[in-house]
Amino acid sequence: MKVPPREAVEANVLRLARPAAILDMPLIFTASEEEGQKGTLLPSLQQILPAAYASRIDRHEIIDSLADPAVAEALSATGQRQLITAGISTEVCGIPPALHAQRDDYQVAFVADAYGSLTELGHAISLRRLEREGITLTTTAMVIAELTDDYPITPRSCGPTPAPTPMTPTGDHRPTGCC
């Protein structure tokens, strides 16, 4: 992976994991190549989110993670309709499940700097396609800012509930993270 550099993509995935852990967001970790290679997912995720890491789903080479019944069931079990996606490969691991989730009426936020491609063109065209399809494109910093600004880390003691943004839930519903 070259665009953004793999190290930057991995760092952004870890940056997203930290507020997800603090906010106790429902998360689904999945990989398409884990069989016989336990630990293909970023090992640092295990330290930040041990339960989500331990229950990660091996898709057995299924590219579209939501085409795997175990992943689709795990997502449905969260009861959430908002999905924040992050991963490694823009064109292969990112596009198919984002489009699938949107077809299934999820509000999808695609964290563009938490995905990468072998080419700048591949990454750019992928993002343009998602945008054309109506999927929200965002960045790690934007997600963290929106989650920490609008999301109640501690129960609210007073004041009105802020208006939801494309990244924040309404009421007590929490968006689901998936990578």
| Residues marked as catalytic | 93
| Mode of pairing for the β-strands spanning 176-178 and 82-85 | parallel
Check if the beta carbon of residue 167 is closer than 8 Å to that of residue 147.
Answer: yes
Q: Where are the alpha helices (DSSP H) in the chain?
A: 6-22, 43-48, 50-54, 69-78, 95-103, 120-132, 140-150
Preceding amide of 4 cis, omega within 30: yes
CB within 8 A of 90, min separation 6: which ones?
112, 115, 116, 117, 122, 123, 126, 127
